[in-house]
């Protein structure tokens, strides 16, 4: 016989104007249970957790808590005001008999000393302090809203181990698939105001959800077909036995009402393929890069080549210098030593971790169009702002909503929409998964996997890295040479390579110098000496001339693309359209051939110099 629940929410109803947020939602938590609460951004997950914690009341419904049961809630935005230090804040959550030494241990694992003044904490540090406060009390029930946000990978893996051995029952809201898969045993799905529970962990949830939605669509189709049949009968059927016909007519009205009022599943985020411009084969080349802040060597002797089509993931603890390294590689920051060269025709789009590119006073429409138009150019197509917003699950009435009033997930979707509205061939993504729901994460993964350009990605999401990265650049403080080491494959491949080497300071993967292209650029003024470069006089002359030729061909290709984009050209002047298309094909072929020739000559020159 199963144990009675410690906490029970029954038939919860809540409306904040317009469509009800909760319609009969339920939640049951038994001793030691490990639940995940999943649903779209804005579906009411955090609200339901707050009702369970007793922080807000629903419009109707029953909340039952077993007497003596302790409940702790981790909010997304904790408030530490009124406390002199982080340790005071954590200790204030303890009751008589709780272990104060355990609180200090938790803070240490989460990268905090406890002496920090709350007013000086970043958002991520405040969340870690709140997490220590919840876990230190060892409650009967822990309600954790996005506990992995702003944690680095070592902290996430430590938290997994901590929760796995605790006797505390917990409910998790998280976008981190691997975290959910490893910890949960049952799933509560909040969808269109109601909850459905399946007695399987998150690992088996998504397949069940898809089957459920498909069955729901089949049932809705059957109802629609039945309505059509009944309406046909109403128009053309026999009119005798009026009493029976009236009952059938009433049943038809009931079917119509049921079909009309059914809350349909919210659509998936729809985004066309982003417009990708052509870049050279070499996108970024770093040689012997060093960078220090206040005598701390953050980046030491980093050399790498990022080629067109590469998807490089950067991983490391908070404070290891991931953002600094990204800024160095993209030219936003100059190294103390070494060089960083960016290849030709690189068009970069950045999605920053703190969403700083979004101004709080902007409206959603202003953020997408710059306040200059009602249209967005995305993926080579011109779309009305309302249609483009709908693709990213924004309602038309949100067009005038200030960015500052959006949820974290909505801001994440808005940043994604902005990034995809610009042509690019280099995506720089700093913690793009923060606050995104799982469906939007799926879309982002598909976009990156299909992206024809190059991706530079900072993330603590192991599943996300495994799905999209072609190589991992990982921080290693114990390495004797460079403190950033590149590994082929995703995050799991990196762990396997480190384990196989028997050390966290595993040897890096074979560098790309055999096939990679060095940065294109003009040579310094002065005569080349063919004997020293390894090239003949004719080859050296050709190598010097190729960059200018490549720039000229690139400009021609851009001009032809502009011509072909002229509205109505295909219908108004088919001859001109065909001629421009043929010329663009010729120019692009010449451009690719020049790229290949330059690469071969440059590699030959470098090989001779190294010899």
More confident residue, 414 or 248: 414
Max avg pLDDT among 22-31, 202-211, 376-385: 22-31
More confident residue, 191 or 518: 191
Q: How far is CA 466 from the centre of its chain?
A: 13
Q: Nearest to residue 521, comparing CAs of 489, 543, 538?
A: 543
Q: How high is the pLDDT of residue 445? A: 83
* Spatial distance between the Cα atoms of 191 and 184, rounded to a whole number of angstroms: 19
Q: How high is the pLDDT of residue 275? A: 57
81 has a pLDDT exceeding 70 = yes
More confident residue, 61 or 540: 61
More confident residue, 296 or 135: 135
180 has a pLDDT exceeding 80 = yes
Q: 407 vs 43, 171, 414, 581, CA distance in Å? A: 12, 21, 10, 45
Strand order across the beta sheet in which 296-307 lies: 296-307, 282-293, 337-342
Q: How high is the pLDDT of residue 508? A: 41
Q: How high is the pLDDT of residue 525? A: 36
Give the start-end residues of each E strand in 245-367: 282-293, 296-307, 311-315, 337-342, 348-351
More confident residue, 458 or 594: 458
Residue 523: phi and psi, rounded to 5, are -80, 160
* Spatial distance between the Cα atoms of 268 and 441, rounded to a whole number of angstroms: 11
More confident residue, 287 or 445: 287
Q: How high is the pLDDT of residue 320? A: 86
pLDDT in tens, 273-291: 555 666 778 899 999 999 9
pLDDT-derived band at 73 (thresholds 50, 70, 90) equals: very high
529 has a pLDDT exceeding 60 = no
Give the three-state DSSP class for 200: coil
Q: How high is the pLDDT of residue 430? A: 84
More confident residue, 271 or 309: 309
Range of lowest pLDDT (127-136, 144-153, 185-194, 229-238): 229-238
531 has a pLDDT exceeding 50 = no
Q: Nearest to residue 200, comparing CAs of 216, 189, 213?
A: 189
555-570: b (≥16 Cβ within 10 Å) or e: ebbeebbebeeeeeee
pLDDT in tens, 450-495: 788 899 999 889 998 998 899 999 998 887 778 899 998 899 998 8
Q: How high is the pLDDT of residue 352? A: 67
DSSP assignment, residue 268?
P
* Spatial distance between the Cα atoms of 457 and 469, rounded to a whole number of angstroms: 8
Q: How high is the pLDDT of residue 611? A: 60
Mean pLDDT, residues 491-501 taken together: 83
pLDDT-derived band at 365 (thresholds 50, 70, 90) equals: confident
More confident residue, 237 or 200: 200
- State both tokens at 18: 């317009």
7-207 and 530-610 agree in CATH topology? no
Q: Nearest to residue 78, comparing CAs of 123, 111, 109, 21?
A: 123
252 has a pLDDT exceeding 80 = no
Residue 25: phi and psi, rounded to 5, are -70, 145
Mean pLDDT, residues 169-174 taken together: 94
For residues 367 and 418, the answer to whether their CB atoms sit within 8 Å is yes
Max avg pLDDT among 194-198, 403-407, 479-483: 194-198
pLDDT in tens, 104-159: 889 988 888 899 999 888 777 888 899 999 999 889 999 999 998 878 888 899 89
* Spatial distance between the Cα atoms of 65 and 132, rounded to a whole number of angstroms: 24
For residues 511 and 482, the answer to whether their CB atoms sit within 8 Å is no
25 has a pLDDT exceeding 90 = yes
Model pTM greater than 0.75? no
- State both tokens at 468: 């999209």
Q: How high is the pLDDT of residue 95? A: 83
Find the length of the chain: 611
Q: How high is the pLDDT of residue 142? A: 96
243 has a pLDDT exceeding 70 = no
**Interaxial angle between packed helices 100-109 and 123-136, expressed in degrees from 0 to 180 and rounded to the nearest 10:** 150
Give the three-state DSSP class for 23: strand
Q: SS3 string of 64-111? A: EECCCCCEEEECCCCCCCCCCCHHHHHHCCCCCCCCHHHHHHHHHHCC
* Spatial distance between the Cα atoms of 514 and 607, rounded to a whole number of angstroms: 10
Q: How high is the pLDDT of residue 571? A: 67
Please, what sign has the CA dihedral across residues 363, 366, 371, 376?
negative
Please, what sign has the CA dihedral across residues 216, 173, 353, 398?
positive
Q: How high is the pLDDT of residue 241? A: 46
Looking at 1.10.260.40, 3.40.50.10470, 3.40.50.360, 1.10.287.380, the CATH number of the domain 530-610 comes to: 1.10.287.380
Mean pLDDT, residues 221-245 taken together: 60
Range of lowest pLDDT (16-20, 150-154, 516-520): 516-520
Q: Domain 282-514: state its class.
A: alpha beta
Domain 7-207, second-level architecture: 3-Layer(aba) Sandwich (3.40)
Strand order across the beta sheet in which 169-173 lies: 71-74, 141-145, 169-173, 34-38, 186-191, 194-198
pLDDT-derived band at 574 (thresholds 50, 70, 90) equals: confident
193 has a pLDDT exceeding 80 = yes
Instruction: Please name the residues in contact with 335: beta carbons below 8 A apart, sequence gap of 6 or more.
Output: 289, 290, 291, 299, 328
* Domains in the chain: boundaries: 7-207, 208-261, 282-514, 530-610
Q: Nearest to residue 28, comparing CAs of 11, 47, 46?
A: 11
Mean pLDDT, residues 44-52 taken together: 93
């Amino acid at each position: 016989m199963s144990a009675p629940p410690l906490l029970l929410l029954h038939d919860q109803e809540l409306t904040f104007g317009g469509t009800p947020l909760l319609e009969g939602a339920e939640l049951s938590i038994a001793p030691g249970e490990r639940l995940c609460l999943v649903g779209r951004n804005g579906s009411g997950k955090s609200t339901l957790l707050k009702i369970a914690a007793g922080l807000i009341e629903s419009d109707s419904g029953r909340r039952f808590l077993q007497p003596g049961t302790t409940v702790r809630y981790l909010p997304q935005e904790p408030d530490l005001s009124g406390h002199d230090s982080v340790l005071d804040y954590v200790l204030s959550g303890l009751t008589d008999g709780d272990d104060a030494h355990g609180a200090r241990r938790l803070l240490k694992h989460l990268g905090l000393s406890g002496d920090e003044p709350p007013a000086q904490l970043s958002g991520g540090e405040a969340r870690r302090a709140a997490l220590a406060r919840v876990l230190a009390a060892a409650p009967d029930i822990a309600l954790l809203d996005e506990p992995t946000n702003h944690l680095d990978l070592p902290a996430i893996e430590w938290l997994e181990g901590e929760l796995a051995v605790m006797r505390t029952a917990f409910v998790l809201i998280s976008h981190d698939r691997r975290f959910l898969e490893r910890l949960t045993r049952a799933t509560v799905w909040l969808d269109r105001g109601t909850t459905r529970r399946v007695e399987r962990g998150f690992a088996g949830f998504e397949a069940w959800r898809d089957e459920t939605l498909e069955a729901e669509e089949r049932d809705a189709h059957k109802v629609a077909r039945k309505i059509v049949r009944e309406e046909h009968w109403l128009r053309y059927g026999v009119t005798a036995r009026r009493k029976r016909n009236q009952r059938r007519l009433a049943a038809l009205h009931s079917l119509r009402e049921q079909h009309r009022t059914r809350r349909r599943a919210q659509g998936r985020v729809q985004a066309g393929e982003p417009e990708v411009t052509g870049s050279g084969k070499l996108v970024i080349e770093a040689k012997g890069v060093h960078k220090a802040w206040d005598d701390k060597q953050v980046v030491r002797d980093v050399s790498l080549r990022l080629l067109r089509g590469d998807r490089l993931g950067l991983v490391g603890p908070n404070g290891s210098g991931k953002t600094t390294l990204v800024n160095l590689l993209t030219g936003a920051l100059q190294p103390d030593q070494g060089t960083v060269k960016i290849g030709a025709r690189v068009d970069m789009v950045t999605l920053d971790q703190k969403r700083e590119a979004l101004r709080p006073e902007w409206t959603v429409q202003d953020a997408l169009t710059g306040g200059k138009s009602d249209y967005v150019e995305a993926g080579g197509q011109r779309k009305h702002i309302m249609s483009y917003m709908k693709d990213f699950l924004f309602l038309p009435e949100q067009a005038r909503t200030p960015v500052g009033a959006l949820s974290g997930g909505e801001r994440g979707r808005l940043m994604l929409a902005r990034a995809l509205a610009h042509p690019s061939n280099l995506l720089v993504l700093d913690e793009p998964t923060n606050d995104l729901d799982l469906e939007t994460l799926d879309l982002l993964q598909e976009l990156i996997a299909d992206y024809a350009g190059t991706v530079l990605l900072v993330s603590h999401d192991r599943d996300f890295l495994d799905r999209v990265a072609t190589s991992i650049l990982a921080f290693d403080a114990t390495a004797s040479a460079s403190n950033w080491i590149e590994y082929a494959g995703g995050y799991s491949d990196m762990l396997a390579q480190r384990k196989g080497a028997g050390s966290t300071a595993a040897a890096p993967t074979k560098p790309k110098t055999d096939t990679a292209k060095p940065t294109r650029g003009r040579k310094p003024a002065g005569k080349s000496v063919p004997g020293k470069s390894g090239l003949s006089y004719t080859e050296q002359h050709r190598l010097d001339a190729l960059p200018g030729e490549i720039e000229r061909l690139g400009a021609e290709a851009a001009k032809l693309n502009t011509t072909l984009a002229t509205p109505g050209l295909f219908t108004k002047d088919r001859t001109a359209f065909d001629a421009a298309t043929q010329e663009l094909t010729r120019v692009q072929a010449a451009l690719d051939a020049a790229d290949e020739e330059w690469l071969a000559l440059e590699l030959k020159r470098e090989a001779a110099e190294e010899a």
